[in-house]
Amino acid sequence: MLKGKNKLGLIPINTLLFFVVLCLGTEVFATDKYSNLESKTQQLLKELRRVGIPSSSVGVSVTIIPSTIYPFEPVRYGFNSKKKFNPASTVKLFTSFYALSVLGSSYRFKTDFFIVGKRDLDSFDGDFYLKGRGDPKLVYEDLQEIVYAMRAKGYRKLRGNFIIDDSYFSEPEINAASFDGKKNKPYNVGPNAALVNFKAVELTVAKVKRKINISLKPQLADFTVVNNMRWVRGSCGKNKIFYKEFDGKLKVYGRFGTRCKRQRLYLSLSTHKRFAFGLFKQAWIDSGGQFDQVLIDGVVPKEAELVYSWTSPRSLELLIKDINTLSNNTMARTMFLTLSAGKGSPGTLEKSRRLLSSWFYDLGIGLGDVTIENGSGLSRLTKLTPTHIDTLLYEATFSKEFQVWKKSLALAGKEGTTVNRFRGMDVSGNAWLKTGSLDNVQAYAGYVLTETKRWISFAILVNHRVAERAKLPLDKFIDSLYRDAGPQLLVEGSKQVK
């Protein structure tokens, strides 16, 4: 290994700039139309056509990353690589890598608590403020720790008003039903500067002492569950569970199999502020405290006293792992707004889009070429090309945070959204991937460490009404990238990208 190589074993980008310029002046053409990368892509296209997906609905960009300083010739291959597609959740790569580049892997979010009022021994009467600062993973266990810390300061009775200040972002709460009509699905939860527990709970329907029991975890204060479930003979396969939220109540109805022990569902409930208020109140009561405050709107005034500041136990490294490996939409959307938030300047979608547009220019991506709506995969407006995504992945290999970045992606066949894929394939455990899946969209992007220890970055986008059928062909294509023991033939120049 040459001295001065980066985390991939490559020469740092500043050392290579001269050779990049030298090689860009010469077009490198593949003389054999059945070159390795082209033949693998043609095989993919053939398999996709068999399941009803035409080649015009597919875009591919692949780069074999060079490991020698001269000649510096990254192997590039593209098919429809400059055509715009809906990238689904692979767009999270832009949100998460920009955050990693700007904030750093050790960055931790804070949430502050203020008071304005009168304290008398263990009682407080006045305005109590929760000031959110964009933490995308402030969970109920954190709230419990916060309550314990407040109780340790001598607070037991809270009277007056409870105010959740989410002004760190300046965006209205989204209509959770606008994307697909499923407002209670956790993946549809929108961003909020004071997001708590993803605004979601676990609903359990269980057989307890011959009765149907319904519970929420965590519990929400002032929220009532109405149980209208009935028995039906049979196992869990007979279950039909429906729910309807209204006026601080959740009506659960349907049928439950007599031989079924339990079934769990995950639901988004209420508004961001009411949800956070309900969880905080429940945690306070569970701690043995007395809570007699009401939720009102407002922001922290200048004269407010800071009584507690919570620092997240999770670094940005762990947060982007959740965003990319688990493909958490709510975290990605919250992180996207955080990118443009600062002192006295709240985060907005438009400001975050402008920041990324400027960054794209630095990456060599044209300012007008990219459309990103909200930083997550839940969009029908976001448009990217395979080359855009592959360019980001390639440039990321020269980052000092590359190892953190790579590990934020799902290890193929082992983690997250890939855990049930690549079964029996050699690439399992040898690729780091971001998946994307929507109705009519399938996508893959990431890195492969091949059997000859070469690094490959790639992006594959499929937009078609039967895109769901593309999953196995895409898995097989990525497996073929791993198997490179045969000779590798070079690339295309610009004229070869179709």
Residue 7 lies in a domain: no
Residue-level pLDDT at 478: 98
Six-digit token pair at 85?
């597609």
In this structure, is residue 437 part of a structural domain? yes
Specify whether 298 is located in the same domain as 364.
no
Q: Are residues 266 and 326 in the same domain?
A: no
In a domain, 1, yes or no: no
pLDDT of residue 72: 64
pLDDT in tens, 35-60: 789 999 999 999 999 999 999 999 99
Q: Give the pLDDT of residue 11.
A: 43
Report angle CA 230, 232, 235 to the nearest 5 degrees: 125
pLDDT higher than 50, residue 2: no
Same domain, 35 and 144: no
pLDDT tens by residue, 316-362: 999 999 999 999 999 999 999 999 998 779 999 999 999 998 888 88
In a domain, 394, yes or no: yes
- Out of 296, 313, 330, a domain closes at 313
DSSP state at residue 168: T
Q: How far apart are CA 4 and CA 377, in angstroms?
A: 37
Q: Do 312 and 110 contact (CB within 8 A), yes or no?
A: yes
Domain total for the chain?
2
Q: What is the pLDDT of residue 71?
A: 63
Among candidate residues 313, 333, 360, the one where a domain is terminated: 313
User: Which sign, positive or negative, has the C-alpha torsion 39, 94, 368, 377?
Assistant: positive
* CB proximity list for 292: less than 8 A, separation 6 or greater: 157, 158, 159, 160
What are 91-110's pLDDT values in tens digits?
999 999 999 999 999 999 99
* Contact yes or no for 166/194 (Cβ under 8 A): yes
- My answer on whether 322 and 256 are in the same domain is no
- What's the angle, vertex CA 137, arms to CA 355 and CA 139, rounded to 5? 160
pLDDT at 492: 34
Within this chain, do residues 328 and 303 fall inside the same structural domain, yes or no?
A: no
In a domain, 5, yes or no: no
Residue 229 within a domain: yes
Query: In sequence order, which residues have a C-beta less than 8 Å from that of residue 164 and are 6 or more positions away?
Result: 129, 130, 132, 194, 272, 273, 276, 277, 295
* Same-domain check for residues 118 and 260: yes
CATH number, domain of 131, equals 3.50.80.20
Choosing from 313, 332, 360, the residue where a domain stops is 313
**Angstrom distance (rounded) from CA 189 to CA 333:** 9
Residues 330, 180: Cα–Cα separation, whole Å = 15
Examine the domain organization and report whether 395 and 462 are in the same domain. Answer: yes
Question: Helices marked H in 312-373 — which ranges?
Answer: 316-325, 329-338, 349-363
Residue 369 pLDDT grade (very low, low, confident, very high; cuts 50, 70, 90): confident
352 vs 338: CA distance, rounded Å: 8
| Pairwise CA distance, residues 95 & 336, whole Å | 6
pLDDT tens-digit map of 174-210: 998 889 999 999 999 999 999 999 999 999 999 999 9
- Residue 3 counted as domain residue: no
Residue 260 lies in a domain: yes
> Which residues are registered as beta bridge partners of 85?
384
220 and 304, same domain (yes or no): yes
Mean pLDDT in residue range 123-150: 98
Question: Taking all residues of the chain, what is their mean pLDDT, rounded to a whole number?
Answer: 90
Two tokens at 280? 């905080």
Clarify whether residues 116 and 69 are in a common domain: no
Question: For the segment 441-459, what is each residue's pLDDT rounded down to a tens digit?
Answer: 999 999 999 999 999 999 9
pLDDT at 367: 57
Q: Look at residue 361 in the predicted model and tell me its pLDDT.
A: 83
- In Å, what is the CA distance from 89 to each residue of 62, 95, 99, 105, 369? 19, 10, 16, 21, 18
Q: Is the pLDDT of residue 488 over 50?
A: no
Structural domain range at position 416:
13-106+317-496
| CATH code, domain carrying 83 | 3.40.710.10
Residues 87 and 119 in one domain: no
pLDDT of residue 9: 53
Whether residue 124 sits in one domain with residue 95: no
Q: Do 48 and 188 fall within a single domain?
A: no
pLDDT of residue 33: 28
Per-residue burial over 182-203, b if 16 or more Cβ lie within 10 Å, else e, is ebbbbbbbbbbbbbbbbbbbeb
